[in-house]
Amino acid sequence: MSDRLLADWQAHALNLESEINKVVVGQESPVRLITTAIFARGHVLLEGDVGVGKTTLLRAFTRGIGGGYQRIEGTIDLMPNDLVYHTYLGEDGRPHVSPGPLLSEGENLAVFFFNEINRARPQVHSLLLRVMAERTLSAFNKEHQFPHMLVFADRNQVEKEETFEIPSAARDRFMMEIPIVVPSDADVMESLMFDTRFHNVDALVERVPGGILQFDQLNEFAALVQDKVQASPALRRYALNLWLATKTPGQYGIQIGGVDINRLVIAGASPRGMAMMLRAARVNAWLNGRDAVLPEDIHAVFHETVAHRLVFSPVYEMRRTEIARELLSGIVNAISVP
Ligand SMILES: Nc1ncnc2c1ncn2[C@@H]1O[C@H](COP(=O)(O)OP(=O)(O)OP(=O)(O)O)[C@@H](O)[C@H]1O
């Protein structure tokens, strides 16, 4: 019975991916990773340029899974309450209060997109992190629940002025950080420029058939995937070695040009991080029609689930993206595959 369910949902998930890939072009890898996060029930950091289709991508996913979508812009003067309610003067000349983006969809909130999260102040980050962890919020004398919400937060990495970087403890709560960059294929670039289909986000998103999946069944189904996809003892040892290597890469013979490897890492991946990596790897195995995790499932999500959790010595933080890439591929090459 559960095997049938796993196979049916795999077909739906692959159908969702292919419909999304029709409207957001040249982003197959982020689409696969977001699908993985949705089925692993993990929040996502997006690292991307401006105008690369992040909003389109998230709205298209929400249309495919159903449920509500909300977006908020991070600004320096955003206050935590701006996520919870708006006040305005009504036509009757009296003040009114209406629910803000976190509350307006009620329990149906499926995707909450926080654009440019690092422009918002730490008080706003801490409210969001609490909601992400607890999936509840007290407001208007009531406890509000968000059982189906996934948060997608974009960090603007282009401009650094007047930004508040989210601290490592906060980054650790996100399952993945997914880069979204301009597609490099010339044909895709040309169609993004000339094909008017891509110029109207509302019309584009409408092309995704609604309700391919049911957002309010995802938690239950995700638990089934985690339960059914197995990890062999050899795979477990392999994953453990990868984890140890993130803490002391020097002991595994990893070298990176211009970096004193023994001083690079202040903190390797956390237990929460490695648990999230395994959740994502299990989903990747299921998406590929398997009932056991292979090393290639770990490789498919290793960088995106681990890189944002590593804390480097301050001297190396400026080159963080490049060093993390080299370090993690060095680890994958150094640890022998079972
Ligand atoms: N890969 C893509 N496929 C389809 N449309 C795209 C793609 N990249 C950009 N676009 C189009 O570019 C426009 C901007 O996209 P969108 O608003 O989703 O970007 P964004 O990354 O959210 O931007 P911002 O960072 O400014 O919020 C839209 O009209 C969208 O359809």
Q: Is the pLDDT of residue 170 over 90?
A: no
The CB of 31 under 6 Å from ligand 1? The reply is: no
Instruction: Among 221, 248, 276, identify where a domain stops.
Output: 221
The lowest-confidence range among 110-119, 181-190, 292-301 is 181-190
Torsion of CA 37, 43, 46, 52, to 10 degrees: 60
**CATH number of the domain residue 327 falls in:** 1.10.8.80
Same domain, yes or no: 177 and 323: no
Q: Is the pLDDT of residue 61 over 90?
A: yes
- DSSP H helical ranges for 138-294: 168-171, 186-194, 201-206, 218-228, 233-247, 261-264, 271-287
Residue percentage of the chain with pLDDT more than 90: 59
Q: Is the pLDDT of residue 328 over 90?
A: yes
Same domain, yes or no: 62 and 36: yes
Q: From the alpha carbon of 198, which atom of ligand 1 is closest? A: 31
> Can you tell me which residue has the tokens 């976190």?
102
What confidence score (pLDDT) does residue 320 get?
A: 87
Same domain, yes or no: 216 and 239: no
Question: Do β-strands 85-89 and 136-139 pair in parallel, antiparallel, or remain unpaired?
Answer: unpaired
What confidence score (pLDDT) does residue 166 get?
A: 82
DSSP 166: P
Q: From the alpha carbon of 200, which atom of ligand 1 is closest? A: 29
Same domain, yes or no: 196 and 278: no
CB 327 within 8 A of CB 249: yes
Prediction ipTM score: 0.95
The CB of 54 under 6 Å from ligand 1? The reply is: yes
Ranges 40-49, 153-162, 186-195, most confident: 40-49
CB 152 within 8 A of CB 42: no
User: What is the distance in A from the centroid of ligand 1 to the CA of 50?
Assistant: 8
Average pLDDT over residues 231-239: 94
The CB of 130 under 6 Å from ligand 1? The reply is: no
Residue percentage of the chain with pLDDT more than 70: 98
User: What is the distance in A from the centroid of ligand 1 to the CA of 14?
Assistant: 23
Number of domains in the chain: 2
DSSP 138: E
Q: Is the pLDDT of residue 159 over 70?
A: no
The lowest-confidence range among 108-122, 132-146, 211-225 is 132-146
Same domain, yes or no: 82 and 212: yes
The CB of 51 under 6 Å from ligand 1? The reply is: yes
What confidence score (pLDDT) does residue 196 get?
A: 85
The CB of 275 under 6 Å from ligand 1? The reply is: no
What confidence score (pLDDT) does residue 97 get?
A: 85
Domain that holds residue 140: 2-221
The CB of 169 under 6 Å from ligand 1? The reply is: no
**CATH number of the domain residue 125 falls in:** 3.40.50.300
